[in-house]
Amino acid sequence: MRRVSLLLALAAAVGTIGLAAVPRAQAGKAWDEIRAGVFAGRTINPAGDVVLLTAPMRPLDQRAVPIEVEARFADGRSVRAVTLIVDENPSPVAAQFDIGGKREHLRLATLLRLNAATDVRAVVEASDGQLYMAERFVKFAGGQAACSAPPSGSPEQIAATMGKMSLEPLSKQAAATEVEPRARLKIMHPNHTGMVLDQLTLLYVPLRIVTDLEVKQGEERVFAMKGSMTMAQDPVIDFDYRVNGADSLLVEARDSDGASWARAFPVGHGS
């Protein structure tokens, strides 16, 4: 996955101005380059009934666009990985999730920054190595490009809350009585893109993003994520997991400055 890591790191070196609209004719070229860099010559199959990608046609706020992926295999295969791609963003590989356990069916949702009108893609890798892709075109909501928009909150507020986590149950039933409960994880972090101009110093706020996130249930991995600056400020991830008898979910996170945080959440409880 070295090429994926290189694309995730592009945020540190790339700057863009005024990406308010992108002609559809350019979309194919952008995807061709991303595909070659991330998946090389591997065949990518149409989504069919394997992958469902949900995204708004025109988001209310391009700084936090809701994206949901549902993957399902009915032939004994399981989900190995999910990669989210935003063609026209400076860091197009938004996030890559490595899925633990044998999950024939799963749902993931998160919030992404969109810098322009763009195709958004979800590429799911099956346990046999086959790739399946769903895509949606999302229009630009207008205003400032998300990757150069200043973060919400003062620098003091951001520093005081950085790394704080919460886990909210989304299932109607308590996790203790449900086979595959669903939860919402939120970690407070500015996810600085490196493209925001500080109006006081007239210097760019340095890149600082959540690079790694892992959720474990007991000793079993639920998922591990590689992030990028395309993730929204204060990353939110909705996920389901298969109950294995462990009494807690352990969340560990690390950012590009080397800071790390960890917290254990009792299964079936919010925070």
- Answer yes or no: is 256 within a domain: yes
Q: Are 115 and 90 in contact (CB under 8 A)?
A: yes
pLDDT of residue 12: 38
Q: 29: domain range?
A: 2-13+20-266
pLDDT of residue 190: 97
Tokens of 172: 């109607």
pTM score above 0.85: yes
* DSSP strands (E only) in the chain: 44-46, 51-54, 65-72, 79-86, 93-99, 105-112, 118-126, 131-138, 165-169, 182-187, 210-217, 220-226, 236-240, 248-255, 260-266
Q: β-strand 93-99 against 210-217: which pairing, if any? A: unpaired
What's the CA gap between 194 and 211, in Å, rounded? 14
pLDDT of residue 179: 76
What's the CA gap between 246 and 84, in Å, rounded? 29
State residue 173 phi and psi, 5-degree precision: -90, 160
Query: How many domains, in total, are found in the chain?
Result: 1
pLDDT of residue 3: 45
DSSP 191-215: -B-S-PBPTTT-SBPPPB-EEEEEE
pLDDT of residue 269: 45
pLDDT of residue 225: 99
- Answer yes or no: is 75 within a domain: yes
The closest alpha carbon to 132, from 59, 194, 57, 70, belongs to 70
- CATH number of the domain encompassing residue 245: 2.60.40.2470
The closest alpha carbon to 169, from 267, 67, 54, belongs to 267
pLDDT of residue 173: 56
Tokens of 190: 């500015």
pLDDT along the chain (271 residues), means of 10: 45 36 60 96 96 96 96 97 98 98 96 96 98 96 82 93 96 62 97 91 93 97 98 98 93 98 81 42
Q: β-strand 131-138 against 44-46: which pairing, if any? A: parallel
Q: Are 249 and 183 in contact (CB under 8 A)?
A: yes
pLDDT of residue 94: 98
The closest alpha carbon to 249, from 165, 154, 160, belongs to 165
Strand partners of residue 265 = 249
pLDDT of residue 268: 54
- Answer yes or no: is 241 within a domain: yes
- Answer yes or no: is 76 within a domain: yes
DSSP state of 88: T
Q: Are 208 and 195 in contact (CB under 8 A)?
A: no
Query: Within the chain, how many helices (H) and strands (E) appear?
Result: 3, 15
Determine how many CB atoms are found less than 10 A away from the CB of residue 134.
Answer: 21
pLDDT of residue 177: 52
- Answer yes or no: is 271 within a domain: no
Q: Are 251 and 116 in contact (CB under 8 A)?
A: no
